Amino acid sequence: MNRKPNIPQRTLSLITIAVMALALGACGSVPAENPALQDAHAAYNAADSNPRVRDLAAGEMMQAKTALDRADHARQDGASLAEVEHLAYVAKQRVGIANEVAGRKLADERAAQANADRDRIRLEARTREADQAKADANAAQAQAVVAQSQAEAAQRQAQDAQAAAADVQARNTQLTILLQELHAKQTERGMVVTINDVLFDTNRAELKPGGMRSVEKLGALLKDDPSRRVQVEGFTDSTGSQATNDALSARRAESVRSALIGQGVPADRVSAKGMGESYPVASNDTAAGRQMNRRVEIVLQDANGPVAQR
Amino acid sequence: MDTMKNARAVIAISAIALLGACASNPSSDADIAASSAALNGAVTAGAADTAPTELRAARDKLDDARRERDAGHGERAIALAREASVDARLAESKALAARSQQSAQDLNAANRALADEINRKSNSN
């Protein structure tokens, strides 16, 4: 083996060793942890553990994962720190994009829900309005029915009142006509109908048919007229004893009262009284005068109060 | 002599590798164009209001990328352009999310107002 100068050869060997050492250093040892890459992993894991991000931004998460894998591989392959940090940065930003996309889609879902809510609120309001209108209409109809029945009742009442007034008027008219027929006289005590002696037999209290007719007519009108009270008063002339005259006048008055009651006039509205020979209306000295004094007077009073006594 | 030949070969390969690393200057044009488009998208989405930080970062990096490209540093220009792109995309998605959130908020507020109005109306009946 021919000798060569030592020094250059040794130098060459050193260079070779250094180069090899560098190569070994690049491939052999596990590279130190990279903070930027750790950040990117942490961000990715946080996003991946959020179901909303996983579901709503699946595509963006996949891109983030690809970027993260590239950064991991670069670090494992011994790429420069700047290269690893660059790829880690990109991965981290892609995670941020995934988060934002998920946030946007969530907001869009809420907006869609709000639109549906608005339609529902409007529909409910319209339904409520329609129900209310229907209820109002029903109430108005019920009110109208009530009002109509009230009006009908009022009309019936008015008709009844009119008919009653007409009845009263008709009765009063009939009574007025009858009283004229019977030659009734207006006195302070009321209308007085005088039934003459000729309607009674001498010393008898029973009314003759002529007197009976007058009393019947009067009774028919009085029985339905609760506003009138009747007092029947009997009178005689001065012939005979006073006791006889009192008794006869009382019997004649009672006879007329019975006839009125027989016509339906309530007994409590008719009273009878014998006045004897008192209150003559003519002189007892002549036959004509005495005849006028023998009489029965029927006093009609409008008021509900008692018949004014003589 | 063999060992010397070997050593020379190693040195030559290493030198070529080093030269290759320096000499190769990949084009960053595509990445810069993509980054620029992403930035425009972010601006259109309203990121100036809702994501100003991300938008500024994207713009600065895009400027840097162009400078590095012009300086002949293709690799650095590509890396900067790609970072500018994700920054711009993040700014855009933030702006869009904010817009959607505002919209949902407005709709819900309108619904509350509507419900209030309806309640007032039906109560006043």
B chain contacts of residue A104, beta-carbon cutoff 8 Å: 93, 96-97, 99-101
Q: Does A13 reside within a domain?
A: no
Q: Which of B3, B39, B73, B86 is the mutation pick for testing A, counting most A CBs within 10 A?
A: B86
* Same domain, yes or no: A176 and A293: yes
With tokens 């100003």, the residue in question is B52
Give residue-wise pLDDT tens across range A55-81.
999 999 999 999 999 999 999 999 999
Cβ–Cβ < 8 Å for A56, A108: no
Q: How far apart are CA A72 and CA A66, in angstroms?
A: 10
Mean pLDDT of chain B: 86
Closest partner residue to A16 (CB to CB) among B7, B97, B100 is B7
DSSP letter string, A90-145: HHHHHHHHHHHHHHHHHHHHHHHHHHHHHHHHHHHHHHHHHHHHHHHHHHHHHHHH
Q: How far apart are CA A121 and CA A66, in angstroms?
A: 46
- Domain of A183 in residue numbering reads as 171-301
Q: Does A293 reside within a domain?
A: yes
B56 burial level (CB within 10 Å; 0-12, 13-18, 19+):
middle
Note the pLDDT of residue A198: 67
Tokens of A246: 């009192």
- Closest residue by Cα to residue A61 from A39, A74, A83, A46: A46
Tokens of A201: 């037999």
- Other C-beta atoms lying within 10 Å of the C-beta of residue A247: 16
Kindly list the distances between the CA atom of residue B117 and the CA atoms of A118, A172, A210, B1, in Å, as whole numbers in the listed order.
13, 70, 92, 101
Closest partner residue to A121 (CB to CB) among B86, B89, B114 is B114
Closest partner residue to B4 (CB to CB) among A12, A82, A132 is A12
Q: Which of B18, B50, B61, B94 is the mutation pick for testing A, counting most A CBs within 10 A?
A: B94
- Closest residue by Cα to residue A256 from A297, A224, A221: A297
* Same domain, yes or no: A70 and A189: no
Q: Is A194 helix (H, G, I), strand (E, B) or coil?
A: strand
Tell me the CATH architecture of domain B26-124: Up-down Bundle (1.20)
**DSSP at A31:** P
Higher pLDDT, A266 or B57: B57
Question: Are A100 and B97 in contact (CB < 8 Å)?
Answer: yes
* Same domain, yes or no: A188 and A289: yes
Note the pLDDT of residue B2: 58
Residue A244 sits in a domain of what CATH number? 3.30.1330.60
Residue B67 pLDDT exceeds 90: yes
Closest partner residue to B104 (CB to CB) among A89, A90, A111 is A111
Q: Does A251 reside within a domain?
A: yes
DSSP letter string, B1-62: -HHHHHHHHHHHHHHHHHHHHHH-----HHHHHHHHHHHHHHHHHTHHHH-HHHHHHHHHHH
Strands, E, within chain A: which ranges?
185-187, 190-196, 229-235, 270-274, 295-301
Residue B10 pLDDT exceeds 80: no
- Those residues with Cβ within 8 angstroms of residue A3's Cβ, 6 or more apart along the chain or in another chain: none
Cβ–Cβ < 8 Å for B6, A12: no
Give residue B123's Cα distance to chain centre: 55
Last residue of a domain, one of A124, A152, A183: A124
Mean local confidence (pLDDT), B17-21: 46
**What is the pTM (predicted TM-score) of this model?**
0.54
Q: How far apart are CA A107 and CA A123, in angstroms?
A: 24
Note the pLDDT of residue A277: 87
Q: Which of B28, B75, B102, B111 is the mutation pick for testing A, counting most A CBs within 10 A?
A: B111
Residues in chain B whose Cβ is within 8 Å of chain A: 1, 3-4, 6-7, 10-11, 14, 79, 82-83, 86-87, 89-90, 93-94, 96-97, 99-101, 103-104, 107-108, 110-111, 114-115, 118, 122, 125
Higher pLDDT, A238 or B14: A238
Mean local confidence (pLDDT), B72-79: 95
Residue A3 pLDDT exceeds 50: no
Higher pLDDT, B9 or A23: B9
**pLDDT range class, residue A240, cuts 50, 70, 90:** confident
Structural domain total, chain A: 2
Mean local confidence (pLDDT), A5-12: 55
B chain contacts of residue A107, beta-carbon cutoff 8 Å: 97, 100-101, 103-104
Note the pLDDT of residue A176: 82
Interface size A-B, in CB pairs within 8 Å, comes to: 93
Question: Are A132 and B83 in contact (CB < 8 Å)?
Answer: no
Note the pLDDT of residue A39: 95
Expressed in angstroms, the distance from the first to the final Cα of chain B is: 112
Note the pLDDT of residue B64: 97
Closest chain A CA to residue B96: A104
A chain contacts of residue B125, beta-carbon cutoff 8 Å: 132
